[in-house]
Structure 1
Amino acid sequence: DFNNLLTGILGQASLVKIHAEHNRPITKNLDSLTKAAERAAELTQKLLAYAGKGRYELSVINLNSILADNHVFLQTLIPPHVDIHLNLAPHPMYVKVDPGQIQQVIMNLILNAANACSPKGGIVTIETDSFTFTADDAPQTIAQTPLEAGIYQKLVVIDNGVGMSPETLTKIFEPFFTTRPHGRGLGLSATLGIIKAHHGGLQVKSRLNIGTTFTIFLPTAQAPDSRALPAAKAIRQQRGKALVIDDEVGVRDVAADGLKILGFQVITAANGKEGLQKYQSCADDLQIILVDMKMPVMNGAGFLAQLRQVDANTKVIFSSGYSETEIDSYLRADGNLWFLQKPYTIKNLQKLVEQ
């Protein structure tokens, strides 16, 4: 719901900015409005991350490379009296993750560790290694479901700070819980959600006046193929009719206006069932369908299933406030399907269509 509202705000601001391009006072105010809405969108992403529903674009990376390449940068994020020590495994640590989200996890844990250290000085140690276990000896993690047996890459962040009491330890992953006067308390809760969404696990151990250890387990991925990857699928720029299906009027209007700017004749529908009826009247000249995933009467998945029974070629864009991983199975099975994350701006929509 928040993402639908923000899509309307960002989209309308983008449209007004296009029409008021040469009016500097207005565009300046619109820039401020857009930045405020984008900050709100970032907050919803953190809340979605806590729920394990954040936006993820997965690729295979070497976890050791991320840590080694960002060592100097990470050191600049923390107070000068705290040092970061790396103790990395000698072999590559391949994991299939969203690099930006995993970097956020690393920063959250390092900042948390550094803030726990004494002003007189402290050390944050980051260790990596591979870890194999069976169903019988799987580690206990903070998750509703146990980890599956297999080979995992282990990331450990250790500090020699003040530590936490057992009471505090039970609360640190609650949204907005913080022990700092000016903290916002979303870092660790978002961290847990991100790790869960990557099918990983997280452990934490702490002792007062000794320090805290966070351990993350991520499933091992195969090394990336060094051969050239095939060109990404793209929607060719065409004109004709576009069908927008969304139950939120504000989102529907923004998407329709954005596609009209690109030269499309736009038809709208409020749910998948109505969308199928509208499709039948314009199928011959229909170029693109933008459909929301969650709607009453008939959702996006139901619409796509019905559509593909009669039309396998029309290009469809799924739009959702949840992550691309939520519809990954649909994307893999359908070569004419794309994804647009909510909230989106007119520029985001146009960029995807014009590719």
Structure 2
Amino acid sequence: MSSIVGARVVSSVRPSAPPGRDLVEEPRRALLAVRQNESRLRENEERLTRALAHTNTLILDQDALLRYTRIDPATPQTERAIGHTDEEVFGRVEAASLTAMKRSVLATRVPMREDVELVVEGERRIFDVSVEPICSASGEVVGITSIATDITERKHAEEARRAREERIREAQRIESLGMLAGGVAHDFNNLLMSILSFSELALTDVPAGAAVCEDIERIQIAARRASDLCKQMLTYAGRGRFQQKGFDLAELVREMPRLLEVGLPKGVTLRYDFAQGALPIAGDATQIRQVIMNLISNATDALGDAGGVVTLETGLVDADAACLSQMRFGETLDPGRYVCCTVSDGGCGMDDLTQLRMFDPFFTTKRASRGLGLATVIGIVRRHGGAIRVESQPGQGTTVRMLLPCTGKTA
């Protein structure tokens, strides 16, 4: 029988930390965490600054007195604004709407967003500005933060797109009116030819000097006037007679002053500014002469009883795509050299609605007018592959500029 004569106990005991060590390590770990957070914040801030530098956006902080305290991304230009208000940076008048918006946010604590126009480095720019209040821990409003994005190019692109769409709609409207006017004028003209033919036959069937002869002649006069009206409508529709050949517009206008001045109202003076040298174009000289006469007639009417000066100018211009895009029918033309004819007056001018309809057939603002003068003008210009532009403001006169392709040679 065996017996236990002894035993040994083996144990493992972790040595205890020296007194006060935890009190030292805990602040160190907290400090390390703070430094790591600060480092991450700096990295994020640098990334945000780099990102903002490649955009058209600024983030701006201002105190309760609307003095700038911080602007990101920082540039030499933005640094100069620190410590100043919008009125000091842009001027009181220029910054009026922006300052009013920011003061409203300070007073109401309600965020606001508006498009604001400002002159920056001598250039007028458009900014999308959103403003929000900055509140302290106690809830007191201590300033504002703004996000301003330069949307100038976008606004200009939108305006150009709207203008282009409006010109397309206008061209479609003119084309539709032209088709309608041309169809009606063609059919009506055929009826008039029948009336004239049968009236001629009627005159041969009655004795000379009979009382009915005078009535038949009046029928013929009315029918011829109606036929002239149809020809104008056909011209507007681009379906009138057209004899194209090369000629010199400079020579044509130099021959016109005596013709133009015959029927001038009292108190109206014609001033001429003709370019030196030839102005070769291809087209119907009679129709171009009619365009100039119609434009001058409208200009003299615009002067009214007060009278004034109507100016007729000619010249050569190199029209680029931007210039042509501002003109009726210009978008379909190629950039290049054009013969220019301009008629301007200092008369009553026109509002936007009148300008929109001024070339419509039978639209007129004058009592004794059929409203086909300018409709004929637009039809002839379109038929000659040209473009036309009207600039007018109520009370500031009107300028009508016509461009016709320069051929470089005359017959």
Q: TM-score scaled to structure 1, two decimals?
A: 0.58
Kindly indicate whether residue 193 of structure 2 is the aligned counterpart of residue 7 of structure 1.
yes
Kindly indicate whether residue 203 of structure 2 is the aligned counterpart of residue 203 of structure 1.
no
Structure 1: how far apart are the matches of 2:347 and 2:211? 50
Match for residue 150 of structure 1 among 336, 350, 363: 336
- The number of residue pairs the alignment matches comes to 225
- Paired position in structure 2 for 1:109: 295
Could you tell me how far 1:143 is from its partner in structure 2? 3.0
Could you tell me how far 1:101 is from its partner in structure 2? 1.8
Structure 1: how far apart are the matches of 2:215 and 2:334? 51
- Paired position in structure 2 for 1:46: 232
- Paired position in structure 2 for 1:93: 279
Q: Secondary structure at the match of 1:32?
A: helix
Could you tell me how far 1:58 is from its partner in structure 2? 2.5
Kindly indicate whether residue 220 of structure 2 is the aligned counterpart of residue 34 of structure 1.
yes
Could you tell me how far 1:15 is from its partner in structure 2? 3.7
Could you tell me how far 1:11 is from its partner in structure 2? 2.4
Match for residue 355 of structure 2 among 156, 169, 175: 169
Structure 1 stretches lacking a partner, 5+ long: 226-355
Could you tell me how far 1:152 is from its partner in structure 2? 1.6
Structure 2: how far apart are the matches of 1:136 and 1:88? 25
Question: Once the two structures are superposed, what CA deviation does each residue of 1:70-92 show, in whole Å capped at 9, x if it has no partner?
Answer: 20221222212010011001011
Could you tell me how far 1:157 is from its partner in structure 2? 0.2
Could you tell me how far 1:181 is from its partner in structure 2? 2.9
- Paired position in structure 2 for 1:188: 374
Is the contact between residue 329 and residue 386 of structure 2 (CA under 8 Å) also seen in structure 1?
Answer: no
Question: Once the two structures are superposed, what CA deviation does each residue of 1:313-337 show, in whole Å capped at 9, x if it has no partner?
Answer: xxxxxxxxxxxxxxxxxxxxxxxxx
Match for residue 326 of structure 2 among 130, 140, 143: 140
Question: Once the two structures are superposed, what CA deviation does each residue of 1:296-325 show, in whole Å capped at 9, x if it has no partner?
Answer: xxxxxxxxxxxxxxxxxxxxxxxxxxxxxx
Q: Which has the larger radius of gyration?
A: 2
Q: Secondary structure at the match of 2:365?
A: coil
Could you tell me how far 1:2 is from its partner in structure 2? 1.0
Is the contact between residue 321 and residue 331 of structure 2 (CA under 8 Å) also seen in structure 1?
Answer: no
Is the contact between residue 54 and residue 194 of structure 1 (CA under 8 Å) also seen in structure 2?
Answer: no
Indicate how the Cα distance of structure 1 residues 29 and 54 shifts in structure 2: closer, same or farther if over 3 A, else same.
Answer: same
Is the contact between residue 281 and residue 410 of structure 2 (CA under 8 Å) also seen in structure 1?
Answer: no
Could you tell me how far 1:129 is from its partner in structure 2? 0.7
Could you tell me how far 1:140 is from its partner in structure 2? 2.1
Structure 2: how far apart are the matches of 1:57 and 1:14? 29
Is the contact between residue 324 and residue 331 of structure 2 (CA under 8 Å) also seen in structure 1?
Answer: no
Could you tell me how far 1:135 is from its partner in structure 2? 4.6
C-alpha RMSD of the superposition: 2.3
Q: Secondary structure at the match of 1:141?
A: coil
Percent identity reads: 34
- Paired position in structure 1 for 2:166: none
Q: TM-score scaled to structure 2, two decimals?
A: 0.50
Structure 2 stretches lacking a partner, 5+ long: 1-186
Could you tell me how far 1:161 is from its partner in structure 2? 0.9
Could you tell me how far 1:126 is from its partner in structure 2? 0.6
Kindly indicate whether residue 402 of structure 2 is the aligned counterpart of residue 216 of structure 1.
yes
Q: Secondary structure at the match of 2:318?
A: strand
Q: Secondary structure at the match of 1:152?
A: strand
